[in-house]
Structure 1
């Protein structure tokens, strides 16, 4: 039986209503999808509105670079950890000696600023994009180029060891004739892969890299060995440094000061165990034996390497915080930080970070004696007697009167 026109009209209206409702729901769903996508893009790049045109990007870059090179030493030191003059000199050194070259759209000074800002503040790639108005690919490429150029300055920036002379009047070092400096190890946090985490886990439970550093009397680095796992003992790292082709050179008759974690053997003078050693343990009290006065003098001189590590980590945040770089990349960055530390101390004169870290101020080439080097760590009776005799000399020459 055929429907009447009135029933057919109601059926058509119901069908059209259902179709329109379905279309409306689809459009509403589509709009919500695009709103969510747009919101995600805005969160990923917060400053996208200021990057919209090449002119705006270039103006922002020029403004940031003026903060480094034109707004005074305070802002320059805050951003790249050195004053304006030192920054310009580093750029020229990397160009002339490191082989760093600019590209068609980025100058050398901006490349160096990106690298220094990265290691000084431990910024991630996304934050660097927002700061320098550059793409992520450009940031990665520039960091690798500048890092390679800094490492090429190894022979220029690493200091030559200078022994303490017999007529030295340095109150900290004059007691240790023929001493070349002090050495110690430190831990730099790394992001190891899951299968390597146990190897890099140190005794404190953190994931880190064991780094050996050797400094002279002026707290400038003579040698650095990075890359060992945090679980490796300091003595094992030192043995590796001695047998490497371009490793640590210790001529016979000379020595370095080291803490009790190392063996007291030829070339490496460690303190007496079981006696007060660290300066905070004395509390203004005077030594009561030759061993104690030796430990006090030893701690006063060797404290330079601990202060050097403290200044280094205060200057470069990438060494005191876990970074997003790979372990292999961190090894290269650690070596670059040591070289830049020497460069800044040589050029800046007064080190701002040294004044922030310590209250006291702690120079020159010397001859290299390479014919008879110490290659093994082995405690001997002769070296123990040398330490004991030196302790007796310090005790006999003490400047205060005992009862």
Structure 2
């Protein structure tokens, strides 16, 4: 019998989707689905097939070409198609050109040089939270969000005086919503972001800085290597990818560790476990649950299934990362797991450009947070936490995470791991 969830894929329990992922994965590697908004697509859920699809030459990322051919596909690229001309929405040679122009900002030497600044931001944010004493604080609002948002803002060259407004607009734009159309507040936030980025480009032309936006503007104006749409799209994509996924990684990872106290205690006792713990958290509860859309350019054979030409394809990275055909005991969090490979950052030419930055921020965040507050507890049971996201299928993160950093007395509310 066909799983009814396949008829409304995306309209499932975001708080604990993994039992559904396991059920669908057991039914086969590839499934034809109807998305919650009524569009048809093909879903890939097993590791071997997912990895193959992420590098398949017959799958295109160019949604502009797909839309021109078939208006029934789903257009990505908030806040609209005008901002969708970034490296995640094009194929080579455009992808190669766009990625090369941004890649220097995320090189290994640049990340090493950034480490002291990230540590300083982490320390300041935790100082601010610690001032609240033993009251409940929201770890997302006070730590997991502002850390990566501050770092990516500094890399891009967004003035400090503008960050509160810009951050609030992105929070509104990406807030959970069950409405079929974007809420008025999200539309307004989207318009504000567009206006701001257009004005920011103009200001960088007048007053260049030593930042990535200035580099992109110079490439557009001097070398004619970027169109205005590509510059705006790239900046937007880097802001979203540069903060939102890391926010979710820190939030999801903190919950995972608090629900597995013996593993958290081991990490506190030996901070050298943090890098491996991050890889296991990325595998076990990936912030990016599904890849961004692909589109078949001809009939494509994956996992014994022929996906017809000009069909939309989504890859469940989260389902693939718990595939028992690839991992031993995949449903169990094990921060000492020897095999640290996963698909949480994708694979192939679209592998996450900011993976080094995300790992750097997460390493410093987890080491400092859990080392400084070894008795931190969740202030609510796990069953009261809510995972959802306004962007639809792709991202999954906490809207808030109430914790007490240094509780007086015994353990606080918690549940068994889901």
Q: Do Structure 1 and Structure 2 share a fold, with TM-score over 0.5?
A: no
TM-score with structure 2 setting the length: 0.26
Rg larger in 1 or in 2? 1
Q: TM-score, normalised by structure 1?
A: 0.27
* Bigger relative contact order (CA 8 A; separation at least 6): 2
